[in-house]
Structure 1
C-alpha cells in the first residue's frame, strides 16, 4: 500500500524526472527523483516521511542530522514526528561540516536523514564527520533508497526504486549524445 501512495505523491509533485542526469557521485542516470519537489508541500512531506518514521520509531535515537541541502527538510520533519532534535550539516569549501553552533554529544545515537540515497557517498561523508565528533550513527532514513549495493549502515526508506546508474564511459545516453542535466546540489 505505501509504495502506491509514495509513487502517487512523487508523480503529483513532478518529482520523478526522465532524461539524462549527472548525479552528485559523478555517475549518470536515465531517471532522477527530485525530492525537493515533494518537500515543497508540507502535507506531502508529512505523509511520505510518516512511512519512514513508522520504521524508525522504536530505535534508540537521540539526534536527527540531515546534510544540506536534501536532508534539511527531511531531518526537520522526521525530528518533528519523532519529537527529537533535528540539525543539519553543510559544505564548507566542498567538505561536509557542522556549523551554526550545533554540537554532537559523545555517544549520541544519531539517525542521518537524506532525501535520496544512491551511492551513499554523502551519507558516509556525514557519518564519518559525526563519528569523528563522538557520535554513534545508527542508520540513515530517506524518502527514496536507490542503492544497488550495501553502504554499511541500515537504510530506512519510504520506498526503494531500481533506477539504472552508469559510469560516464559506459553511459548509453552519452553515446546517443543526449543532453545532460545536473539537478543535484553538490559541486562535482
Structure 2
C-alpha cells in the first residue's frame, strides 16, 4: 500500500510551516483526519495495519483521542477485537472514558496515525496499563520518530524523515514563513 499516495490524493499531505503537537516546527505535515474521513481509505489503512499484527492474541486496540479513534476502530475491526480510546484527562495525562470495557490482564495493541515523539501513544498506553491491561505492540500508519522505543514491537506502514526544528533553530521562522498550528 502506498500510504503517501493516499495522503496526497485526499489533500492530507501539507507543505508550509507547521507547529507540531510536540512543540517542534516542520515544513511538512500529514493531516490524518483528512485521510481518515474517507471510510474506504480508513478501512484499507486499518486492514493493512491489522495484517502487521494478526499473529498476536489481542483483546482490544487503543488509540489516543482524537486522532487515534478512527484508526483504533478500523484496526480493531480488521483484527476482530474491541476498539477503545484514551482521552485527555488533566495536564498531560490520558484516561479511559467511563463505560469503555477494559479488564486487568487484557492484551492490547496501541495505534497512532503519525508517530513523531511517541508521546500521545505512550500516554494512551499508560492509561490502559493503569487499568491493569498489558500493551504487547504498537502500530502506526507513519513513523517519523527516527527511532522511538516503546519497549514492545513497533510496526508501521511506512517511515518518513521530515525535518523538524526547535522553535529557536527553525529556518522557516528566520525566513518569516507564517507558522500554522496543527
Q: TM class, shorter-chain normalised? A: over 0.9
Query: Shift of the alpha carbon at 1:93?
Result: 3.5
> Residue 73 of structure 1 aligns with which residue?
70
Q: How far apart, in 2, do the equivalents of 1:122 and 1:72 lie?
A: 12
Secondary structure of 2:173 counterpart: helix
Q: TM-score scaled to structure 1, two decimals?
A: 0.90
Report the alpha carbon displacement of residue 78 of structure 1 after superposing the two structures with TM: 0.5
Whole-angstrom distance in 1 between the partners of 2:100 and 2:157: 27
Q: Which residue of 2 aligns with 1:18?
A: 15
> Per-residue displacement from partner, 1:23-53 (whole Å, max 9, x unpaired)?
1111111100001111010011112232211
Q: Please, what TM-score do these two structures have when normalized by structure 2?
A: 0.93
2:36 to 30, 39, 43: 39
Say what the alpha-carbon RMSD is for the aligned residues. Answer: 1.4
Structure 1 residue aligned with 2:110: 112
Structure 1 residues 150-159 or 117-126, which shifts more? 150-159
Q: What is the number of residues matched between the two proteins?
A: 180
| Separation (CA, whole Å) in 2 of partners of 1:108 and 1:47 | 26
Structure 2 CA distance, aligned partners of 1:51 and 1:159?
11
**Higher mean C-alpha displacement, 109-118 vs 97-106:** 97-106
In 2, distance between residues paired with 1:179 and 1:100? 41
Question: Contact between 2:104 and 2:132, CA under 8 Å: does it hold in 1?
Answer: yes
Maintained 8 Å contact 1:16/1:31: yes
SS of 1:165 mapped into structure 2: coil
- For residue 170 of structure 2, what is the aligned residue in structure 1? 171
Alignment CA distance shift 1:68-1:77 (3 Å):
same
CA offsets, 1:64-110, max 9 Å, x none?
A: 11111000000110011111000111113343111131242112111
8 Å CA contact 1:145–1:155 kept in 2: the answer is no
| Equivalent pair of 2:85/2:124 in contact (CA under 8 Å) | no
